[in-house]
Amino acid sequence: MSKDFAHLHVHTEYSLLDGFSRVKNLISRAKELNMSSVAITDHGCMFGVIDFYKEAKKQGIKPIIGCEVYTAPRSLRDKDPNYDKRQGHLILLAKNMDGYKNLIKMVSTSYVEGFYYKPRVDIDELKKYSDGIIALSACLAGDISQALMDRNYEKAKNIALQYRDIFGEGNFYLEIQDHGLPEQKEVNAALVKLSKEINIPLVATNDIHYVNKEDSKIHDVLMCIQMGKTVNDPNRMRFGSDEFYLKSREEMEELFPYAPEAIDNTVKIAEMCNIEFDFNTIHLPKYDVPEGYTPDTYLRELCFKGLEERYDNPSQEIIDRLNYELGVIEKMGYVEYFLITWDFINFSKENNIMVGPGRGSAAGSIVAYTLKITDIDPIKYSLLFERFLNPERVSMPDIDIDFCYERREEVIDY
């Protein structure tokens, strides 16, 4: 039996006005308890993922990347207050980069298309983006727990089987929690029965909202701010205990002596989740060029066409300078950056939106000048291209452009 334990249901400070687990303190505490990994599963969002990942790596802890998504009772596009005001919860953890990409797709859609009181996903979204994801049934607000609290065992079973079908055998777990709440005792007993009946494994989690037990008072204040209440208000929403902190494996074992496999499954799941972010490779958007062109050949054609418009009978020196710059841009992988920049500046000029002449080191580029991104002749003023782009110093190009403040929004929309 492993002596390790992985917390897989964790709300950091990025669960705004709900989580009081500061990322640095959270990971430090997990390390103190000799845990090799810990998850981030903020409510409906993934704002904290990069800070969490970097801090975990820095402290030698394996980061598990996830989110506690809100589930719509019907379609995420249904927004009727009589049917769609309540949301369920579901924990989603990325097993690999495909899973991570699917997770950010879902979370983005939940805000852009599904937002109704909260950002929501639905069954269709879960089916569409289920690859590379492990799902846990979440807390008492999860759809399965809600059905069990309503004494509707068959409904709970059907939802569990549906999630198992969506995520695949071995990728869906029934989540048991115990924060000393009477409802959890009842739900846990039903989840254990359900697990045995339909052969879906259990996993033990603590719904972490703060790092240490004594932090519960500060968390309570956060909840008051969220609800617009004072701590003296007897009718305010509050957590039913002070047990929502980062517990040791031993504390978790004491809570679940009847389900030791649920403790070990946390480590099993953590071992299945392997995300490595690459912060060194620059990822640029793809630019769709006309048929018959590659991005390189299209950029060259635009530049040489612009060269004829900018210079009467350009000298060999000017042509060589243009070829040299294009070679550097191609080698450094910034061709599509220039095409995108040219495209929206061209759009602005064609629509009579005022555009500035360009500022900063980009004025030293004849490519920028021939594309009419800038209006300063770098040859006439002996401006250096290397101040703008230098193969010896790999950094993103930075082109400063001004647009008319009255119509800038049109450029952004485009």
Supply 285's token pair: 């958007």
Q: What is the pLDDT of residue 235?
A: 87
Same domain, 249 and 321: no
Find the CATH number of the domain harbouring 129. Answer: 3.20.20.140
> pLDDT tens digit string along 48-67?
999 999 999 999 999 999 99
pTM of structure: 0.83
Judgement on whether residues 266 and 307 belong to the same structural domain of the protein: no
Same domain, 238 and 321: no
Same domain, 57 and 184: yes
Is 359 inside any structural domain? Answer: yes
Contact 101, 58 (CB under 8 A): no
* Residue 115 in this model has a pLDDT that exceeds 60: yes
> Would residue 124 count as lying in a domain?
yes
Do 31 and 78 share a structural domain?
yes
Q: Which helix (H) or strand (E) is 79 found in, with range?
A: none
Domain boundary among 272, 304, 329: 272
Contact call for residues 329 and 335 (beta carbons, < 8 A): yes
Question: Which pLDDT score is estimated for 313?
Answer: 93
Q: Is residue 287 part of a domain?
A: no
Nearest CA to 115 out of 145, 152, 78, 149 is that of 78
pLDDT-derived band at 394 (thresholds 50, 70, 90) equals confident
Same structural domain, 308 and 247? no
254: Cβ contacts below 8 Å, ≥ 6 apart: none
Residue 10 forms part of a structural domain = no
Q: Which tokens is 74 given?
A: 């019907």
For residue 380, being part of any structural domain is answered with yes
pLDDT digits (tens, 9 = 90+) for 150-178: 999 999 999 999 999 999 999 999 999 99
The CA distances from residue 77 to 104, 110, 114, 258, 284, in Å, are 18, 10, 6, 41, 31
Arithmetic mean of pLDDT, 97-126: 98
Q: How far is CA 242 from CA 152, 216, 299, 411, in A?
A: 29, 6, 62, 51
Tell whether 4 is covered by a domain. no
Percent of the chain residues topping a pLDDT of 70: 100
Neighbours of 235 (CB within 10 A): 7
Contact 223, 239 (CB under 8 A): yes
Q: Are residues 268 and 300 in the same domain?
A: no
Give the domain range for residue 255: 23-272
User: Domain for residue 79, yes or no?
Assistant: yes
Give residue-wise pLDDT tens across range 30-43: 999 999 999 999 99
Q: What is the dihedral of CA 41, 45, 46, 47, to 10 degrees?
A: -120
**pLDDT above 60 for 1:** no
Domain count, the chain: 2
pLDDT at site 2: 59
Across the chain, what does the average pLDDT equal?
A: 96
Q: How many CB atoms lie within 10 A of CB 8?
A: 29
User: Model confidence over 275-329: pLDDT tens digits?
Assistant: 999 998 878 899 999 999 999 999 999 999 999 999 999 999 999 999 999 999 9
CA distance 51 to 78: 34
Whether 169 is in a domain gets the answer yes
